[in-house]
Amino acid sequence: MKGIYSLIFDCKGKIEVGSLGEKRFEGTYCYIGSARGSGGIKSRLGRHIDLYKKKRDVRHWHIDYVLPNSQLIGYCFGQTEKDKECCLRRSISYDMTIKGFGSSDCNCSSHLLKINYFKKEKIIKGFRKCEINPKFERIKDDE
């Protein structure tokens, strides 16, 4: 299944984020990504969760540097053949962004949003505004 997803996580501290350099994190964040390759959403989310759980160490994207230093809360995803990443980014309210984070292939300033408080309904509503039927999953650290 191809589509888009969001990762919701808490993070605190300074982290070296690849080409962006050292960035300071404090609070709850929503990262928005797409999975339109052959592995689809299942493969992409599995990769991110493996990085978070430190079962993998290869870093390709900005989010790869942050996840191992975060507390992953959950993820939301939906099926689409269309490029709806930027629509979702515009549809979720946020406090601030980290310029250039996860948005090197579009005109958005960032695909990482600092959100003042997390409510899964807020994320689901963003997906629905983009005409995507979402599914939300919480992370269980003991898996």
User: pLDDT digit string (tens) for 79-89?
Assistant: 999 989 999 99
**What is residue 102's predicted lDDT score, i.e. its pLDDT?**
84
Question: What secondary structure letter does DSSP report for 55?
Answer: S
pLDDT confidence bin for 3, thresholds 50/70/90: very high
> Which of 51, 19, 57, 60 lies closest to 139 in space, CA to CA?
51
User: pLDDT digit string (tens) for 87-121?
Assistant: 999 999 888 888 888 887 778 789 999 998 788 99
User: What residue spans define the domains of the chain?
Assistant: 3-138
Residue 74 has pLDDT above 90, yes or no: yes
Half-sphere exposure of 92 (CA within 13 A, CB side): 35
- Read off the pTM: 0.92
The 3-state DSSP class for residue 71 equals: strand
> Which of 78, 66, 65, 68 lies closest to 35 in space, CA to CA?
78
Mean pLDDT of 74-82: 95
What length does the chain have? 143
Q: From CA 60, how far away is CA 55, in angstroms rounded?
A: 15
